[in-house]
Amino acid sequence: MNILVSNDDGIFALGLRTLATALAEAGHQVTVVAPDRERSATGHGLTIHQPLRAELIENVFVPEIKAWSCSGTPSDCVKIALGALLETPPDLVVSGINHGANLGTDILYSGTVSAAMEGVMEEIPSIAFSLTSYTSKRFTTAGKFAQALVAQIAKEPLPEMMLLNVNVPPVDWPEIVGVLVTRQGIRRYFDSFQKRVDPRGKTYFWLAGEAIEEIDQPPNPLLPPHVLTDVQGIQQNYITITPLQYNLTSVAGINSLQARKFSL
């Protein structure tokens, strides 16, 4: 397959190199277009008020991989790849391996997921891969699963256009319990802003806080009750696959609102 790889941790990130190398070793034609620096938590931001720059990168990836660094966001990287850098559209867009989880509501902020979603918006099947740890550098398991998942999709294409959001526990391959198809959970953060003073005496704020791993949420009436959330699956050492779409319409909301009478 012809695969475009991007991320939000930057062109020199270990997770990106692990993913691109794993796919190239599996025989795929791999092109990397990634931010020239870390762009985590940029969401689906685009650069529209200044020019984008793209530069060929050498001696970072194996020779079979053509790589570009881009001055923009993860979404910019996929856009410029599809619109200017690639001669033909890829068969698959893959983003990651992110250094840190993209579970639950993380996906609304995630540059990793947004890069993959940009592919889906262009009607290209896409996958986002994340390692659910900010400290562990054990990307090998995620790279091995990426090979297996891409091989399966090559044989059995996805039945409809969707993004597969894949999260992998930071453990070795024998410790993985299995693979679960999950629903998106709710992962909120206790936010706090640290007030500081710079050397010039100016006040600034630094966003801090910690994640609340899982909060109670009502069951989804459109899904079987046994379907776990992505957060629950990761806690049990499963690799989780959560299918996502960019259409945020609430079907249940439409059904409930249609029963009401709205007036001017």
Q: Which structural domain, as residue segments, surrounds residue 154?
A: 2-182+223-255
**Residue 221 in this model has a pLDDT that exceeds 80:** no
> Is the distance from CB of 169 to CB of 132 less than 8 angstroms?
yes
264 in a structural domain: no
263 in a structural domain: no
Residues ≥6 apart with Cβ < 8 Å to 56: 66, 67, 68
Q: Provide φ and ψ at 37, rounded to 5°.
A: -155, 175
245 in a structural domain: yes
214 in a structural domain: no
Find the CATH number of the domain harbouring 18. 3.40.1210.10
**pLDDT tens figures, 109-143:** 999 999 999 999 999 999 999 999 999 999 999 99
Report pLDDT for 41: 82
232 in a structural domain: yes
75: region left, alpha or beta (phi > 0 left; psi from -120 to 50 alpha): alpha
16 in a structural domain: yes
Helix axes 140-155, 14-25, angle to 10 degrees: 40
CA distances from 91 to 16, 78, 95, 202, 249 (A): 19, 13, 14, 50, 27
| CA proximity to 107, closest of 257, 252, 245 | 245
Report pLDDT for 263: 82
pTM of the model: 0.91
Q: Provide φ and ψ at 142, rounded to 5°.
A: -65, -40
260 in a structural domain: no
Can you list the pairs that 79-84 forms with residues at least 24 positions away whose Cβ atoms lie under 8 Å? 79/46, 79/118, 80/33, 80/52, 80/54, 81/4, 81/6, 81/31, 81/33, 82/4, 82/119, 82/122, 82/124, 84/54
Q: How many structural domains compose the chain?
A: 1
**Residue 106 in this model has a pLDDT that exceeds 70:** yes
**Residue 29 in this model has a pLDDT that exceeds 70:** yes
36 in a structural domain: yes
> Is the distance from CB of 232 to CB of 173 less than 8 angstroms?
no
Report pLDDT for 255: 82
